[in-house]
Amino acid sequence: MTMLKTFRGGVHPLHGDHEGKAQTRGEPTRAIEPKTVTLLMGMHLGAPSEPCVKAGDRVKLGQVVGTPVGFLGLPVHASVSGEVLSVGPVQSVSAPNALAVTIKNDFRDEWAELPAPLGSVEDCPADQIVPAIRAAGICGMGGAAFPTHVKLAVKEGQFCDTIILNGAECETHLTCDHRLMLENSDRVVDGLRAAMRALNVPRGVIAIEDNKPDAIEAMRRAAEGRAGVEVAALHTKYPQGGEKQLIQVVTGREVPSGKLPLDVHVIVMNVGTAAAVAEAVIDGKPLISRITTVTGHVDRPSNLRVRVGTPVRELLEACGGISLPEDRVGKVVMGGAMTGFPCPGLEVPVAKANNGIVVYDAKEARETEETPCIRCGRCVDACPMGLNPYLLKHLCDAGDMARAQKECVMDCIVCGSCSYICPAHRHLTQTFKAMKDAIAAEAKKGKG
Amino acid sequence: MDGKHGILGNNPLLRLGLGICPAVAVTTTALNGLGMGVATAGALLLTSFVMGLIGGALNEKARFAVTLILSAAFASVAQMVLRGWFPALNDSLGVFVPLIAVSSLILCGGSEAAGRGFGAAIADGLVMGIGYAVAMTLLGAVRELLGRGTAFGAAVLPAAYEPLLLAALPAGGLMLLGIAMGLYNAVFGRGRNGKEGA
Amino acid sequence: MKLNLNPAPHVHSRQDTRWLMGNVLIALLPCCVAGVVYFGVPALMLMAVSMASAVLFEALWQKLCGRKLLIADGSAAVTGLILALNLPPRAPWWLAVMGSAFAVVIVKGLFGGLGDNFINPAMAARALLLASWPKFMTAWTAPSGLDAVTSATPLMTPAAWTPLELFLGRIPGCIGETCKLAILAGLAWLLITRTIKWHIPVAMMASLCLFSWIFGKDPVAAALSGGALFGAAFMATDYVTCPVHPAAQMIYAAGAGLVAAVIRSYAGYPEGVTYGILLMNAAAPLLDKCFRRRVYGHGREAAK
């Protein structure tokens, strides 16, 4: 099979600054114990789960507190043991009234009764793996939070010949996947092998950007002697870890517009997701914690193993707090610099897919003002999808939905490369995202 | 082209864009502009007069053809008048005098006059013609001033003025016409949505 | 604590419009120095007047339109300087002022300001000046200190100069276009800083040489005389008025070279670079329509 060096387009954000990762890439993961956790019912893509506890109930670690709804649904598990304080709407990173269960931690970590583990990857029953993944509440941990059992659902007539583990971590600042691959290499490989076994896939590729030579080395060692598992070192360039770019680079295939990776016989999973799969299959443990990188203007930038639902405030406190006077704090972003979501407040809880918290000062966070487009074409060179962002922006500003669609606005992956590179600071990515949402809403209205 | 036309409001040249070809080609001096403008206005007035009389009796499809014949006839009249009394002007206007026959201003104004009453047709023709002639004269005056430093042939700018030759060329005429249209729309409001139009 | 909520991306490249324009100004510096060395203080005066008036007219225009003042982005300064470098060394000062006003107000401002003009402002201004005041725009002086000696340009008398003289620029011509060494230095700066890509200058020079040779002229002399190299390096590469896609850029530049060669060989003007670039400027949007990068997942059979 062909292996390309890299995809066409892309940018090098914070290139002179080690992609913003220098502060935390050498920091070993440490676990923190939250005082309370707020478990959002809608942590995954799909219908929010249904809470099955009420205020005052005592819950144990790993107990189901939210039951799945619909095909895309996932259960939510208590990430601490203790007393349920409330069940109701809270502020999440994207919504002011997201349904959540809040639990006060009693610091006893009493486990609930867990399903029996399936055993080692070599001799677990293959047909039980996907149900076990769903029961463990696992969704994609790289950002999009797509439920993993759905991703692994291969329909009649489809087949998968390659599973790619995404350890590229092309986003700036984040080092959680890097640390995971260094510290838990075997778990990552086990998770990959479990997924390969579940779908009878011959080839598994762990793709890592070449700015993490130690992680490449560690994964190579862990993969040694494991049939079908290989490690690929990729060029360091954003968005190398974009699903479509990764597939193109590793397999030479292109996902046709509007289709899924499985249509080109590939499944892409985050390395964190793979580790969670291993926990679920080998230990029967649900997804209750993850590694999150806390960096930027904090006293002690760290990689933290946090319980799902820990408020952002507790993460920052565990890192010595924000190292800026209050009036100079600009924004707190969940995720990396290219795609992260700005936090509306510090009580927002960490969800299963939150890979980082980055604190920016007021100067870094000041709003860039749009100036006239000078048609320099840098956005065209940067777009990893081959779009014409400068042209699309004119069409979107004019509200021309039909022509924007003709110019493939729906193929935009909202990676932020064009906005990053634009010398006129035009708000390209956010405009495209708004246009995509509007078109999707229109399509839904037409159908409904 | 509903509603009123006029010297200031809905100027045929500066807003409706009628009769642009001679406006670019022959308005190199104020006198040329005036001559061309008046000749066209006269032909328009006569066409409107006749169409006002007979237009009501005409089938709508026939109106355009009749207007064309009328404007061709009156263009010939204009040419004879110019040749007879203003031979120098006639020479400098050249082929654009016979071309009055296909002036978009007359074809448009004349065929429209048909549907209205006699009085309205005359009034419209008169006002549009004057508006066109005024615009042509002004454009000619500006081009003459910039391109030659004179006004109606008399030197008005100091001898040190180096004339902007471009203003006398058709390309400069087109640019100045565009700027004049922009200024006109800025001063009298945009006519397109009808509300702001004067 | 008030948290800012502006959306991703949260970092931006430091190369903003001002940085790009600054790079162009830096790249023009060698040409300015060469111009002053060869043609003396009057050349410097012309550059100063042209830049100052371009910036002033830009400011006045933006004020008049009630827009935000954007003169700090440097685009007007670049326009003014490029125009000055395209003037004969002894051109009167008011020529520079008129050119700047036309470039900034008519060509750029009336079409919507920076980014919306369809032809290069400095080029259009040069065309205006050439059409309006030809006697000032073709009054060439030999680069011999302060004594203005009227002479013919190398384009009219190609045999009078050696290639080395043409290359170093001790020849009559516009202020910025004579010293090819300085232009190449500026071009190198633009390429090294990745302000521009190589396609346009290379394609334009190649096409000019090729067609000059086909039309029976010395290709080396064609490349080294007149404003060809200056135009290819600094004017054809103007972002706003050139196509975006590399293939379109090559055709655009080749077209400009062809038109310039045709005008030089068969038309009434000795120099055709200006008109070549202006004509292809007008074709740029069309070329951009014809050449596109293939969108990922579209077109050719995506699954192999």
Q: Do A423 and C15 touch (CB under 8 A)?
A: yes
CB distance from B65 to chain C under 8 Å?
no
Bridge partners of C178, per DSSP, are none
The answer to whether the CB atoms of A367 and C294 lie below 8 A apart is no
**Domain membership flag for residue A7:** no
Helix ranges (H only) for A138-265 are 148-151, 176-183, 185-199, 213-223, 243-251
pLDDT digits (tens, 9 = 90+) for B74-90: 999 999 999 999 999 99
Which two structure tokens, joined as six digits, stand for A119?
A: 């055993």
Shared domain for A199 and A246, answered yes or no, is yes
Whole-number Å distance between alpha carbons of B131 and B38: 10
- Closest by alpha carbon to A164, among A255, A263, A259, A241? A241
Render the burial of A53-81: b for 16+ CB within 10 Å, e for the rest: beeebebbbbbbbbebbeeebbbbbbbbb
The minimal CB distance from B169 to the residues C98, C106, C131 is found for: C131
Give residue A319's domain range: 291-360
Q: Considering the entire predicted model, what is its pTM?
A: 0.89
Number of domains in chain C: 1
Tokens of C173: 């011509």
- Give the CA distances from residue C251 to residues A274, C209, C244, in Å, rounded to whole numbers and listed in that order: 50, 15, 12
Residue C212 lies in a domain: yes
Q: What is the pLDDT of residue C303?
A: 41
Spell out which residues of chain B touch residue C136, defining contact as CB-CB under 8 Å.
Answer: 162
The string of DSSP letters for A208-232 reads: EETT-HHHHHHHHHHHTT-TTEEEE
pLDDT at C166: 86
**Which segments of A25-117 are extended strands (E)?**
30-31, 36-40, 50-51, 58-59, 64-67, 76-77, 82-90, 98-105
Q: How confident is the model at residue B61 (pLDDT cuts 50, 70, 90)?
A: confident
Give chains near A: 3+ CB pairs under 8 A.
C
| Residue from B165, B176, B181 to probe the interface with C (highest C Cβ count within 10 Å) | B165
CA angle (A209 as vertex; A204, A214 as ends), nearest 5? 90
**Pairwise CA distance, residues A299 & C287, whole Å:** 54
Could you give the C-alpha distances from C292 to A284, A377, A423, B164, C244, in angstroms and in order? 51, 12, 22, 42, 9
Per-residue CA distances from A88 to A97, A105, B195, C154 (Å): 8, 18, 54, 84
C3, C6, C10: best to mutate for the A interface, most A CBs within 10 A:
C10
Cβ-defined contact of A264 to C11 (cutoff 8 Å):
no
Give the CA distances from residue C82 to residues B137, C123, C132, C236, in Å, rounded to whole numbers and listed in that order: 38, 9, 19, 12
**Same domain assignment for residues A296 and A352:** yes
Residue A378 and residue C247 in contact, taking contact as beta carbons nearer than 8 Å? no
Residue C164 lies in a domain: yes
Q: Which of C7, C240, C304 minimises the CB distance to A253?
A: C304
CATH number at residue C227: 1.10.3430
**What's the total number of domains in chain A?**
4
**Residue A27 belongs to a domain:** no
Distance of alpha carbon C118 from alpha carbon C108, whole angstroms? 8
pLDDT tens per residue, chain C (304 residues)? 788 889 989 999 999 999 999 999 999 999 999 999 999 899 999 999 999 999 999 999 999 989 888 888 999 999 999 999 999 998 999 999 999 999 999 999 999 999 999 999 999 999 999 999 988 888 777 765 444 555 666 666 666 778 888 888 888 889 999 999 999 999 999 999 999 999 999 999 999 999 999 999 889 988 998 899 999 999 999 999 999 999 999 999 999 999 999 999 998 777 889 999 999 999 999 999 998 889 999 876 544 4
Domain boundary among A49, A72, A105: A105
Q: In C146-303, where does DSSP find H-type helix? A: 163-168, 180-192, 199-214, 219-224, 228-230, 246-266, 273-290
C to B contact (≥3 Cβ pairs closer than 8 Å): yes
So where are chain B's domains? 25-188
Largest CA distance in chain C: 76
Strands (E), A106-175: 162-166
Taking Cα atoms as reference points, which of A54, A52, A87 lies closest to residue A67? A52
Residues of C in contact with A420 (CB under 8 A): 9, 11-13
- Please report, in tens digits, the pLDDT of each residue of chain A (448 residues total): 445 678 999 999 999 889 999 999 999 999 999 999 999 999 998 899 999 999 999 999 999 999 999 989 999 999 999 999 999 999 999 889 999 999 999 999 999 998 889 989 888 899 999 999 999 999 999 878 899 999 999 888 899 999 999 999 999 999 999 999 999 999 999 999 999 999 999 999 999 999 999 999 999 999 999 989 999 999 999 999 999 999 999 999 999 999 999 999 999 999 999 999 999 999 999 999 999 999 999 999 999 999 999 999 999 999 999 999 988 999 999 999 999 999 999 999 999 999 999 999 999 988 888 999 999 999 999 999 999 999 999 999 999 999 999 999 999 999 999 999 999 999 999 999 999 999 999 998 887 6
Helix (H, G, I), strand (E, B) or coil at C274: helix
**Residues near C33 by Cβ (< 8 Å), separated by ≥ 6?**
C182
Contact (CB, 8 A) for B133 and B11: no
Same domain for A273 and A298, yes or no, is: no
Of A334, A360, A386, the residue at which a domain comes to its end is A360
- CB neighbours (10 Å) of residue B113? 28
Domain with residue A206: its CATH number is 3.40.50.11540
Chain C neighbors of A424, CB-CB under 8 A: 16-17, 115
The DSSP annotation for B79-147 comes to HHHHHHH-HHHHHHHGGGTGGGGG-HHHHHHHHHHTTS-HHHHHHHHHHHHHHHHHHHHHHHHHHHHHH
The whole-angstrom distance between B115's CA and the closest CA on chain C is 40
pLDDT value, residue C85: 96
CB neighbour burial string for B130-166, b if at least 16 within 10 angstroms, e if fewer = bbbbbbbbbbbbbbbbbbbbbbeeeeeeeeeebbbbb
Q: Which two tokens stand for residue B75?
A: 């263009």
- Which tokens hold the place of A185? 């290499």
Q: Tell if the CB–CB gap between B165 and C131 is shorter than 8 Å.
A: yes
- d(CA C240, CA A375) in angstroms, rounded, equals 5
Cβ under 8 Å to A: C residues 102-121: 113-116
Q: What's the rounded Cα separation, in Å, for the pair A41 and A53?
A: 12
Site of tokens 């002894």: C90
Whether residue A123 is found in the same domain as residue A176 = yes
Classify residue C130: in a domain, yes or no: yes
B–C CB contacts, 8 A cutoff, strictly below: 22
Q: Is A111 part of a structural domain of the chain?
A: no
Average pLDDT over residues B56-64: 82
Nearest to A423 among C19, C298, C303 (CB): C19
Q: Which residue of C has its CA nearest to A390?
A: C244
Peptide bond before residue B12 is cis, with ω within 30 degrees of 0: no
Residues of C with CB under 8 A from a CB of B: 98, 106, 110, 128, 131-134, 136
Q: What is the ipTM of this complex?
A: 0.90
Cα separation, C24 vs C80, in Å, equals 12
Can you give the residue range of the structural domain that contains C199? 17-290
Distance of CA A73 to the CA centre of its chain: 17
| pLDDT of res. A241 | 92
Residue with tokens 């939905």: A401
- Single-letter amino acid code for the residue at B58: L
Distance from CA of C136 to the nearest CA of B (A): 10
* Residue A15 resides in a domain: no
Smallest CA-to-CA distance from C111 within C71, C75, C65 is with C65
Establish if A11 belongs to a structural domain: no
Which residue in B139, B110, B137 sits closest to B48, CA to CA? B110
Answer yes or no: are the C-beta atoms of B145 and B138 closer than 8 Å.
no
Tokens (6 digits) for B137: 């004269």
Residues in CB range of C50: below 8 A, 6 or more apart: C80, C81, C83, C84, C87, C96, C97, C99, C100
Q: C1 lies in a domain?
A: no
C-chain CB neighbours of A371 within 8 Å are: 17, 70, 73, 114
User: Does residue C235 lie within any of the structural domains?
Assistant: yes
**DSSP class of residue A281?**
I
Chain C touched by B182 (CB under 8 Å) = yes
The answer to whether residues A9 and A417 touch, using CB atoms and an 8 Å cutoff, is: yes
Contact (CB<8Å) A364/C10 = yes
- Among A52, A79, A105, the domain-final residue is A105
Question: What is the reported pLDDT for C161?
Answer: 79
Task: Give CA–CA dist A382/A108, Å, rounded.
Answer: 51
Q: In the structure, do chain C and chain A come into contact, i.e. share 3 or more CB pairs under 8 Å?
A: yes
pLDDT for residue B6 = 56
Contacting residues for B6 by C-beta, under 8 A, at least 6 apart: B127, B128, B131, B198
Alpha-carbon distance A321 to nearest alpha carbon in chain C (angstroms): 13
* 3-state DSSP assignment of residue A324: coil
Q: Give me the sheet containing A76-77, strands edge to edge.
A: A50-51, A64-67, A76-77
Say whether C140 sits in a helix, a strand or coil: coil
Most B CBs within 10 Å, among C132, C133, C138, to test the B interface: C132
For C128, which of B162, B166, B182 is closest by C-beta distance? B166
CB-based contact B162 C136, cutoff 8 Å: yes
The partner residues of A360 in beta bridges, in order of sequence, read A331
pLDDT band at residue B161 using 50, 70 and 90 as cut-offs: confident
Sign of CA dihedral C202, C206, C212, C217: positive
Residue with tokens 């067609």: C211
